[in-house]
Amino acid sequence: MMDINYVREHAEKVKEAAQVKGFDVDIDRLLELDEQRRSLIQETDQIRARRNEVADAIPKASNEDRPALIEEGRELKERLSGLDDELKDVQKEYRQVLLMVPNVPHEDVPVGDDDEDNLVVREVGEPREFDFEPKSHEELGEYLGIIDKERAIRMAGSRAYALKGAGALLEFAVMRLALDIMVERGFTPVVGPLMVNREAMVGTGFFPYGEDDTYHIEKDEKYLVGTSEVFLVSLHREEILEGEELPRRYAGYSSCFRREAGSAGRDVRGIYRVHQFTKVEQVIICEADKEVSDKLHEELLGNSEALMKKLELPYRVAVACTGETGLGQVKKNEIETWMPSRGKYSETHSCSSLYDYQARRSKIRYRDESGDIKYCYTLNNTMAASPRLLIPILEHYQNEDGTVTVPKALRPYMYGMEVIEPPSASR
């Protein structure tokens, strides 16, 4: 959530941010509501003060003056009740609009509409050149008996899948390698709730804009998380941390759920875009310092690149343009991995800095060296997401006979398996 003082002082800048990010929010209406809100608060405070004066004066008043004071007290009470109702309505609309105001992009973020306008900053590794006709991950998965979409769709509908045998082991191996890197680098692993209340979703900035993409368990009024970022940030909701304890580094492991609203007809083949997936997510909560935040952003990005280098997959790093930068993000880097069947680099990781946007919504603060209370900054990045990351692994490491060589870094987690073969060949 934006600081309303900043919005007042930089209204045009905030309007421009909303325009280049593609969010429809009425900043003028917000400022109008803010003015009404402040005026009503001031008026109600004045009436309360006068009512208290009258209440104190009544017992001391003469018989002649007391009736007038009692009547004034009654009128003040009625007037205050009406103003309180009006203030409540204004406050409600004010908060609804304020929650929809996007963060102002970092100066390094290029202006653009979609991923075609992202700025590539480096490429690592070379896409493999095959001396045979390569198969897609979907073909490999079916041939090897490790991806079963047909049976999964039968029981769960579109965009469902099942990983079997070496496919399941491959996902576990990627997740465990990712977690091991995180723990080695000082991150605290967390397995948190997958069903959360509305406050957690609003507090982390996924509502109101992301509500259509979220699974809602209406009977229990809970929501399924689309990333463990939700419970990692919410760990310290409404808390005041000590400055010397920052930064807090967390690595969340969870299943994730997204309705993929608005993606009908897109990426329907294979397992690139699915409703349920598994992630290791990185989150850092730090002090309110932009330079510190920028350094930690590079740290998070470096962690994910370390995984990619261990997997020896070709990838590139890009700065996401404004149209690809979310509501609360000031900047975002994407790691895009080469996927032979798609013939292009496709997003596998998303590294974001949000400054105090989530902390304001979630009321996460800290006490600095001077004893002042400030809002924290938050950052996050995908460490590994499956099954999406399985796509480049299967396709990049495939062999002409349809088998897949297991990356060396994953073999210790695959019970020594070096090659994934079809079931008939492995019996």
Q: How far is CA 425 from the centre of its chain?
A: 43
Active site residue: 229, 347, 395, 421, which one?
347
Say what the alpha-carbon torsion angle 247, 17, 335, 297 is, to the nearest 10 degrees.
-20
With contact defined as beta carbons under 8 Å apart, do 322 and 21 qualify? yes
DSSP class of 38: H
Clarify whether 273 is annotated catalytic. Answer: yes
Active site residue: 51, 159, 249, 258, which one?
258
- Sequence-distant (≥ 6) Cβ neighbours of residue 214 within 8 angstroms: 201, 206, 207, 223, 224, 226, 257, 258, 259
Pairing of strands 240-242, 365-367: parallel
**Collapsed DSSP state (helix, strand, coil) of residue 363:** coil
With contact defined as beta carbons under 8 Å apart, do 356 and 3 qualify? yes
Strands, sheet with 365-367, edge to edge from the N-terminal-most edge strand: 240-242, 365-367, 373-375
Phi and psi at 208, nearest 5°, equal: -90, -20
With contact defined as beta carbons under 8 Å apart, do 179 and 280 qualify? yes
Clarify whether 367 is annotated catalytic. Answer: no
Q: In 22-152, at which residue ranges do the beta strands (DSSP E only) sit?
A: 119-124
Helix 11-21, helix 27-57: angle, nearest 10? 130
Residue by residue, DSSP assigns 132-192 as S-PPPHHHHHHHHT-B-HHHHHHHH-TT---B-THHHHHHHHHHHHHHHHHHHTTPEEE--
User: Rounded to an integer, what distance in angstroms lies between the CA atom of residue 87 and that of residue 35?
Assistant: 11
Which helix or strand (DSSP H or E) is residue 357 part of? Answer: helix 357-362
Active site residue: 234, 293, 350, 352, which one?
350
- The residues that bridge with 163 in the sheet, in sequence order, are 147
- Sequence-distant (≥ 6) Cβ neighbours of residue 342 within 8 angstroms: 272
Clarify whether 347 is annotated catalytic. Answer: yes
Helix, strand and coil in the chain, % to nearest 5 = 45, 20, 35
Clarify whether 185 is annotated catalytic. Answer: no
User: Rounded to an integer, what distance in angstroms lies between the CA atom of residue 85 and that of residue 80?
Assistant: 9
Clarify whether 258 is annotated catalytic. Answer: yes
Active site residue: 259, 273, 316, 411, which one?
273
Q: Which residues participate in catalysis according to the annotation? A: 258, 273, 347, 350, 388
